[in-house]
Structure 1
Amino acid sequence: MADARHDESTVRIAVEAPPPRVLAAFVEPERRRRWIRMPGSGARYEDDVRVGGTDVATRTFRLPTGDQRLENRTTHLLVSERRLVHAVAALVDDATEVRWTEQVSFLVPSERPEDDLAHVRGGTRLRLNGLAAAVAP
């Protein structure tokens, strides 16, 4: 198994539209499909754009080696007029592999910002310690 690679990027663009109209392009399915969609045709979409909601897009591709199913899941963590935060997972052929990757953004600094990442990492390790018990018969 290859090691996970981590990276980040920030892209900024100027959009000449008021914030509510920009938000609509992200959250209204008919507007979003104009620019966010699975390639080709025949994809299925389930839309739940609210805090805690998950959008699911699936499509099966016909390849010379057999069918391949692609699923994108977007879970919305924050939805407001001026900020969207969501997590995206891409699944290929329903494969089960546990690889825990977190990207953390601290939007408001804590009293001890030097400790914030250590707290996140420690909490993740504690959570994963219980995984074996959770999957046991």
Structure 2
Amino acid sequence: MSTRSVTHSTFVVERVYDAPPARVFHAFADPEAKARWFSHPDEWVSNEGVMDFRVGGRESISGGPKSGPVHSFSSIYQDIVPNERIVYSYDMHMDDVRISVSLATIEFFPAGAGTRLVMTEQGAFLDGHDDAGSREAGTNLLLDALGAALAAESASA
């Protein structure tokens, strides 16, 4: 019999973007806009994913190195307040092994002409397959990618 464990952790990541809350919210709500920053390392292969951005809607995407394992993200939107808040629960798998289950809250606050984004994640990391430090590092990379996508959008406008 294998040893099972769960580690609970909460982390908060903040960013300030030089874009109004409606534009930053749109980067999460619109599938094409989200695809520009919510991605994987260049050397990975992935599926197209699906996104149904509404309360009760689901989002999923998977991918990984060509040699494996496949990393899968599957979420359900629990609460959406346009331009103010998104709450979703999600689980992550590596191949067929569930590695975590989380609740994420993203809040959008006006900050001058820009937006202060606050993302809080409460996670249950399962059986030593994942941990909060790795997840927080990945979240930071994604939010940096969001910032780059917003900056590129502004530069091309």
Q: Please tell me whether residue 68 in structure 1 is matched to residue 69 in structure 2.
A: yes
The TM-score with structure 2 as length reference comes to: 0.54
TM-score by length of 1: 0.61
Unaligned runs of 5+ in 2: 106-157
Residues 83-107 of structure 1 deviation map (CA, whole Å, 9 limit, x = unaligned):
011112101222379x8x67699xx
CA contact (8 A) 2:55 2:77 kept: yes
Q: 1:96 to 1:79 in 2, by over 3 A?
A: closer
Relative to structure 1, the CA distance from residue 86 to residue 2 in structure 2 (aligned partners, 3 Å threshold; closer, same or farther) is same
Post-superposition Cα deviations, 1:38-59, rounded to whole Å, max 9, x if no partner, equal: 3323332111111011101022
2:46 to 33, 42, 46: 42
Which position in structure 2 is the counterpart of 1:111?
none
Which one has a larger percent strand, Structure 1 or Structure 2? 2
* Structure 2 residue matching 1:76: 3-state secondary structure: strand
2:118 is matched with which residue?
A: none
Q: Which has the higher contact order (CA 8 A, sep 6+)?
A: 2
RMSD: 2.7
- Determine whether 1:23 maps to 2:25: yes
- Residue 146 of structure 2 corresponds to none
Matches within 5 A, 1:1-137: 1-39=3-41, 40-59=44-63, 61-63=65-67, 67-81=68-82, 82-95=84-97
Change (3 A) 1:96 1:57: closer
Alignment coverage as a number of residue pairs:
100
Structure 1: any 5+ residue segments left out of the alignment?
A: 106-137
| Aligned partners of 2:45 and 2:64 also within 8 Å | no
- Residues 20 and 103 from structure 1, CA distance in 2 versus in 1: closer, same or farther, beyond 3 angstroms? closer
Paired residues of 1:38 and 1:57 also in contact (CA < 8 A): no
